[in-house]
Amino acid sequence: MKTSVRRIRRSTHRRALGAGLAAVALAAGAVSCSKGDAEESPKMTPAAAVAEAAKNSDDITSLRYSMSGEVPETGRVKAEASMRMEPDLAMSMKMTALDEGADGTVEIRLVDKAMYLGGNPEMAKEMDGKSWMKFDMSALGDDALGGGAPGASQAEQNPAADSTLLTGSKDLEKVGTETVDGVETTHYKGTVPLDTLRDSLKDEDKDVREKREKSLEQYEDMGIETLTMDMWIDGEDHTKQFRVKGEGDKGPLDLTITFLDYNQPVTVKAPPAQDTFDLAEMMQEMEEG
């Protein structure tokens, strides 16, 4: 039975990790579907514009986005997702790891403090025909999962928190005006050394510091030392698109996230119980046995 668990975890780990990283790498503030004037105010410096967009991220309660690019270990990915932060955390994402062929598509759902992985025929073959695997965060400890459910901490990360990272850039510049998904935006770019950004956290209040530390940890775990960031801000000072790049010890990170809407209703349902392989129940049966 233990061998079966390891085999299932191997078959799902890479896809789950990629999905989790996709969620955390949103790294942008609030989104707007506005098509208002994106012309920068004469008094609005690049630093002020990015700071204003970061401030507006506090208004996010839910968002929908598309993503494409490359993440360490998983390789090229594309995904679409919806995420709700209030009144409780929930997420639904469909992701394809383009370098894995037919075996590279997975769906991830986070609802009621449980993560579900499914949507892949190869997974069903390993789980007696059941098409979903459940990771119950409250019932399974790190030891049982061999370090935690793949991508769990990343999936629980509020993606809006990363929007503040670009405010730490010392070489921030305005690139120009561009149309993104039919919306007129202003494009900004800068680099962010993670050690410098971490040193600056001591001057922030507790809430801001905790949010930024969680964001930094995700990139530090990839072995990335410096991030290159691009942000496209619309005429209402909301982030419409975000790109983050870096070289890690397990490969390159290069993700572009385009926000489709925000603060719209997001409903995520758990898969049917009869189609779900509950890892917590299996581990309990093993202990009792």
For 270-287, give the DSSP string. Answer: PPPGGGEEEHHHHHHHHH
Position with higher pLDDT, 23 vs 75: 75
- Is the pLDDT at 33 greater than 70? The verdict is no
- Is the pLDDT at 152 greater than 80? The verdict is no
| Per-residue confidence (pLDDT) for residue 118, from 0 to 100 | 85
- Is the pLDDT at 159 greater than 70? The verdict is no
| Per-residue confidence (pLDDT) for residue 185, from 0 to 100 | 96
| Per-residue confidence (pLDDT) for residue 53, from 0 to 100 | 86
Position with higher pLDDT, 241 vs 17: 241
How far apart are alpha carbons 40 and 28 in whole angstroms? Answer: 19
Split at pLDDT 50, 70, 90, the class of 116 is very high
> Which DSSP symbol is given to 263?
S
| Per-residue confidence (pLDDT) for residue 209, from 0 to 100 | 73
pLDDT tens digits for range 178-202 = 999 999 999 999 998 888 878 877 7
Which residues span the domain enclosing 34?
2-288
CATH number of the domain that 99 lies in?
Answer: 2.50.20.20
Pairing of strands 276-278, 132-136: parallel
Split at pLDDT 50, 70, 90, the class of 23 is very low
Give the number of domains in the chain.
1
| Per-residue confidence (pLDDT) for residue 43, from 0 to 100 | 52
Most confident segment among 38-42, 84-88, 265-269, 274-278: 265-269
Q: Contact at 8 Å (CB) between 77 and 63? A: no
Position with higher pLDDT, 217 vs 140: 217
Pair of tokens at residue 213: 């530390």
Q: Contact at 8 Å (CB) between 249 and 91? A: no
| Per-residue confidence (pLDDT) for residue 232, from 0 to 100 | 93
